[in-house]
Amino acid sequence: MLGLATGSTPVPFYQELIRLHREEGMSFARVITFNLDEYRGLDRAHPESYWSFMHRQLFDHIDVPAESIHLPLGIVDDVPAHCAAYEQAILAAGGIDFQLLGIGRTGHIGFNEPGSPRDSRTREIHLDPITRQDAAPAFGGIEQVPTTAITMGCGTILAARRIALLAFGSNKAAIVKEAIEGPVTDRVSASFLQDHPDAAFYLDAEAASLL
Ligand code: F6R
């Protein structure tokens, strides 16, 4: 069971999975996936929805069965019930074996912005202004970026048996340093990974330049 992330960071990882599938016969037929998050208010068909992103970048190119793919819904009436059902579906599928993460400049994992409790679960969250600013180019302006999202919580993520956080580029160097060398605090959700028994950061030289 795989926990998956969106954003620019995992794209090379997904390209390698596609290559392994096409060239080396790796099958995803028995894989179940749960994504971290989805923007609120976006229909699945919206080009910037994470549903669209994941299909474009990965699912359309491998043999994972459609019924094994899970992302929160961006448009849903009863948000708490939807979030509780997402948590329940993760448990029913056996829990997350391997969770892939990126990190936002706010230190978020998933969309767990500063102040997210360690034991938080899937819920609606207000996106930090920095996060919305980083998403603005893709949406053609900050006013088009949704203000909230549905995200797995820190507790949901920390329950994964194994966690890999990827970070690339100099704009991640300061927050990577805080997450790894700073105090474990809800001001930097990624710092909670310090206490996880099997979490690793995979960095390029720029992202690791302040360590
Ligand atoms: C994506 C997610 C976010 C991103 C983070 C980094 O599903 O939950 O935590 O991983 O915002 O985004 P990029 O990779 O675009 O720098």
DSSP string of 21-72, one letter each residue: HHHH----TT--EEESEEETT--TTSTTSHHHHHHHHTGGGS---GGGEE--
Measured in Å, residue 19 CA sits from the centre of ligand 1 at: 23
Q: Which class for 21: exposed (0-12), middle (13-18), buried (19 or more C-beta within 10 A)?
A: middle
Phi, psi dihedral angles at 32 (to 5 degrees)? -115, 135
Q: Name the closest-CA residue to atom 4, ligand 1.
A: 102
Residue with the smallest CA separation from ligand 1 atom 11 is 104
Cβ(7) – ligand 1 distance below 6 Å: yes
Ligand 1 center–CA 28 separation, angstroms = 23
What pLDDT is recorded for position 141? Answer: 97
pLDDT at 108: 98
Ligand 1 within 6 A of CB of 14: no
Write down the pLDDT at residue 34.
Answer: 98
Report whether 192 contacts 101 (CB < 8 A).
no
CB neighbourhood size of 24 (10 A): 7
* Residue 201: alpha-carbon gap to chain centroid: 14
Per-residue pLDDT of the chain (211 residues; tens, 9 = 90+): 999 999 999 999 999 999 999 999 999 999 999 999 999 999 999 999 999 999 999 999 999 999 999 999 999 999 999 999 999 999 999 999 999 999 999 999 999 999 999 999 999 999 999 999 999 999 999 999 999 999 999 999 999 999 999 999 999 999 999 999 999 999 999 999 999 999 999 999 999 999 9
Please name the helix (run of DSSP H) or strand (run of DSSP E) that holds residue 181, with its range, or none: helix 173-181
Query: What distance in Å separates the CA atoms of residue 5 and residue 89, rounded to the nearest whole number?
Result: 18
Whose CA is closest to 87, among 159, 27, 23? Answer: 159
User: What b/e string do you get for 140-151 counting C-beta neighbours within 10 Å, with b at 16 or more?
Assistant: eeeeebbeebbb
Residue nearest to atom 12 of ligand 1 (CA): 7
Q: What pLDDT score does 69 carry?
A: 98
Burial of residue 77 (CB within 10 Å: 0-12, 13-18, 19+) is exposed
Question: Quick check: CB of 37 below 6 Å from ligand 1?
Answer: yes
Does the pTM exceed 0.95? yes
Distance CA 183, CA 72 (A): 31
